[in-house]
Chains A and B, each alone.
Chain A
Amino acid sequence: MFKITKKKILAQSIKLIEVLAPEIATKGQAGQFVILRIDENGERIPLTLADFNRQEGTITLIYQEVGRTTAELGRLEPGDYILDLVGPLGKPSEIEKYGTVICVGGGVGVAPIYPITRALSGADNHIISIIGARSNKHLILAEEMETVSEKLYIATDDGTEGQKGFVTDILKQLIDSKMQIDLVVAIGPLVMMKAVSQLTRPYNIKTIVSLNPIMVDGTGMCGACRVAVGQETKFACVDGPEFDGHQVNWSVAEIRARMFAEEEQLAMKGCNSGGDCHCQK
């Protein structure tokens, strides 16, 4: 059992919790994730380590309520417990001195980009960050990102904060300004990571993305998380979750994310009608 010690609402439907998990807090590194299961009937869902406090033994998770499990998680309060929590999983980000790095975060993807940005900044890189959201109501971690970046740009779809438009618009402006860019790290919705990768490819700017396919065990045992990268099939939970954005087969990733779309809606409705799911039998 893992105790929730803190909870904060960051933006519309985006919440932050801190969970007491001393071993994971000690071991966790930027780029890694955990898998949790709220209770006996729960699904195992992966969430990125948005932060870790090694002294206090807590980890920070930031999640968007998109379906049944994240909505249930949203109802838990400090003092409540999560039944299962396993991690840290996945490979840590490769943190070294690259030069000038642009960190791009979209929506709830700003949460995982934050510890990576901080680590890259700690490794003496010049950091320019671009974060974006639908509107200022959905924007998270702007202050935190500001403290670990030399320059922070903000884009919102509706112009309620920063520049009106997409994060890729700002990235394009930076590329067009002919500045030296050694690495782009982009985390956010698939469409955003795909757009960033397509934008940087003609310029040969190395681009790292963090894929979030559907997962079950997170240890390489099931293959649910397989992604097509270059000519190969990789398991994102053990070979990733970070990959070279120029190598990722985006259409496979997009299709596989929809595998359980119908069931996800059913789970959301709850089930009291006795439908195809056989649950009333």
Chain B
Amino acid sequence: MSEVNEKVKKVRPNRQPMPIQDAHDRIRNFNEVAIGYSEEQALLEASRCLDCKKPLCIDGCPVDVDIPGFIKLITQKEYQQAINKIKEKNNLPAICGRVCPQESQCEKLCILGKKALPVAIGRLERFVADWDLANGHNQAEKAAASGKKIAVVGSGPSGLTAAADLAKLGHEVTVMEALHIPGGVMVYGIPEFRLPKSIVQHEIKNIQNLGVKIACNQVVGKINTVDELLERGYDAVFIGTGAGLPYFMDIPGENLNGVYSANEFLTRVNLMKAYQFPQYLTPVRIGKRVAVIGAGNVAMDSARTPLRLGTEESYIVYRRSENEMPARLEEIEHAREEGVQFKLLTSPIEIIGDENGWVKGMICQQYELGEPDESGRRRPIPIKGSEYELQVDTIIMAIGQGPNPLVPQTTPDLQINSHGNIVAEENTGLTSKPGVFAGGDIVTGAATVIQAMGAGKKAANAIHKYLTEKSG
């Protein structure tokens, strides 16, 4: 162990900072906030990795990317090989490099983190993936055609990953997507300034190049049920329909004009490009003072977007304290730099409207933290008599999402739990229904891109095994 400590001490140089657009400029545009490493920075950062014999970092990655392996290839400037190495495990590196919560995954376990700052694994992954987008040659290997057909329901990260892996194994895959563009939350939820849509499109094209067909405008359960897909010649079905059901708080005034779910607000802006209204015809109406309820990634995105649409004050209203905020650290920092104001230990109890039915304010109550609850976080307790009115004209509810019920409702023998999530085996995605697998947010509840991808990968392997055994 002391040998490692010696090595850690010797590590030079310091962790390379991510170049970012200045906060003052960036709140006037939708361009990406983080600009990405230069080659020089990437080489310096890559040289910090100790190439550990027992790399702890890999344990933190839900899809087991060979982290020291690809970083070493960077130090040798073998970028094509580096990207190939990442892609052995991760089909969407340009996306994960940008949106993975690295501080609670791979980088959390990096040995350097014990004495200094961990290797910037995510930023290096992004560097290689961006190099690949600009210069790479993609020739993923494909097994011989198996003659098996698989339907993938939903084109979020879980569905796309399952589809890509199954196509590589020689199966014929069709992805069915309810919206008019594939990508799931990566296109309708996460904003352009964090994840440029061109990158998502590029990654999707790579998956199509593997032979995956993507059929948009297909709401499974309405146009075809899972049973009908199985009857019509699909040998297996993977369900990755996500957690797309927005929760509201059930407080008075929630149906007033000016109250959006985060999903509605972000969908209007990202998927429908309302920030370019009226060239794009979908409107979004954002007032001068916006309150976003919640403090996860969805809330940060919902609070940062209005500033770019010209709002004057943007508040995060959260009933716990700073320590409990579930968003990625980087997003919280960026939000703060951009001028988002945090009203912590605060929660609305009523929304007030004007005579035209528009929001004009919100009665807030203040909280203090009590004993830890079942989630291990300290329970917020309302303080009597602390109510006050916060003047806002737009409110965005970002308090979480539930599973989309359309598929479970129309698939009677699919077991769901009390929250409405599909019950599926963690290592295989196997559901209660033969031939039907599921993964991603529809199984776990709202989680992360990389976890959804991990679930898609495991299910792809299990589906392959199921099909081989069935025909064998």
Contacts and interface: CB of A to CB of B under 8 A. Distances in A.
Given A224-B264, A233-B255, A259-B285, A217 B179 contact: yes
Interface residues of A, number: 47
Given A222-B264, A267-B281, A278-B310, A86 B217 contact: yes
Contact of A258 (B179, B222, B257, B272): B257
B222 A88 contact: yes
A162 interface: no
A277 B310 CA distance: 10
A186 interface: no
Contacts of A233: 248, 254-255
Interface in B232-253: 244-246, 248
Nearest to A68: B281
Given A86-B178, A267-B278, A223 B218 contact: no
B261 A222 contact: yes
Interface in A208-222: 216-222
A89 B248 contact: no
A266 B278 contact: yes
B223 interface: yes
A252 interface: yes
Nearest to A268: B278
A100 interface: no
A3 interface: no
A43 interface: yes
B278 A277 contact: yes
B246 A222 contact: yes
Interface in A238-281: 238, 251-252, 255-256, 258-260, 262-264, 266-267, 270-271, 277-279
A238 B406 contact: yes
Contacts of A222: 246, 261, 263-264, 267
Given A221-B246, A222-B264, A260-B285, A279 B276 contact: yes
Nearest to B221: A219
Contact of B268 (A68, A216, A218, A251): A216
Contacts of B246: 221-223
A271 B272 CA distance: 18
A180 to B, nearest CB: 36
A228 B254 CA distance: 10
Contacts, number: 127
A94 interface: no
B51 to A, nearest CB: 44
A84 interface: yes
A41 B180 contact: no
Of the four ranges (under 10, 10 to 19, 20 to 34, 35 or more), the interface on chain B belongs to 35 or more
A196 interface: no
Given A42-B281, A222-B246, A279-B276, A27 B267 contact: no
B261 A223 contact: yes
Contacts of A86: 178, 180, 217-219
Contact of A27 (B223, B261, B273, B356): B223
A160 B256 CA distance: 40
A220 B267 CA distance: 13
B277 A221 contact: no
B277 A267 contact: yes
B283 interface: yes
Interface in A43-67: 43-44
Interface string B210-236: 000000111100111000000000000
A87 B222 contact: yes
Given A258-B257, A259-B285, A219 B263 contact: no
B247 to A, nearest CB: 9
A270 B278 contact: yes
B255 A256 contact: yes
A37 interface: yes
B278 A279 contact: yes
A217 B406 CA distance: 13
Contacts of A224: 260-261, 264
A260 B309 CA distance: 16
B16 interface: no
Contacts of B277: 263, 266-267, 277, 279
Contacts of A126: none
A165 to B, nearest CB: 30
Nearest to A40: B280
B184 to A, nearest CB: 10
A199 interface: no
Contact of B245 (A220, A251, A258, A270): A220
The 8 A-B residue pairs whose C-beta atoms are closest, nearest first, are A255-B357, A263-B283, A222-B264, A86-B217, A221-B244, A223-B261, A43-B281, A84-B180
Interface of A: 23-24, 27, 37, 41-44, 68-69, 83-89, 216-224, 226, 228, 233, 238, 251-252, 255-256, 258-260, 262-264, 266-267, 270-271, 277-279
Given A259-B258, A260-B285, 20 more contacts: A41-B279, A43-B282, A44-B282, A89-B219, A89-B222, A217-B178, A218-B219, A219-B244, A221-B244, A221-B267, A223-B246, A223-B261, A224-B264, A255-B356, A258-B356, A266-B283, A271-B278, A277-B278, A279-B277, A279-B279
22 contacts: A23-B224, A24-B223, A27-B223, A41-B280, A86-B178, A86-B218, A88-B222, A88-B223, A217-B178, A219-B179, A219-B406, A220-B405, A221-B404, A222-B264, A223-B248, A223-B264, A226-B248, A238-B405, A238-B406, A260-B283, A267-B281, A278-B310
